[in-house]
A = this chain, B = another copy of it.
């Protein structure tokens, strides 16, 4: 191991890449029919749906233009629906479907399972520091 991982930037990038691939694999194995990106969007919507793209963008920390595509695919897969806003013809609200609510527990369980696996062997204190540094990175950059 190591060599290139002497650089914390690269180590961060590669760990996230691994995390992404692992999540993708787990979602496939469990046959949820969603991708890692869609999982994040659903996770945000589980905390409250019936929101516009722009509102969802703030909740999910994803760009509007990224969400357009993700919502397209989620809609095609019948996990969300776009509902017109009468007062503003530019906008619409995004609602979860029954299908989406049906996989809610499983989806969240998979996320937790990924977290558990990747942090296995780390103490609570280490995880606390890890979260703190990640948050620091998010805020400083």
Contacts and interface: CB of A to CB of B under 8 A. Distances in A.
B138 A15 contact: yes
A109 to B, nearest CB: 12
A122 to B, nearest CB: 6
Chain A interface, DSSP helix/strand/loop, else mixed: helix
Q: How many copies does the complex hold?
A: 2
Contacts of A40: 4, 10, 13
A10 B108 CA distance: 12
Given A1-B135, A130-B129, A133-B130, A119 B8 contact: yes
Interface of A: 1, 3-5, 7-16, 18-23, 40, 43-44, 47, 59-61, 111, 114-115, 117-122, 126-127, 129-141
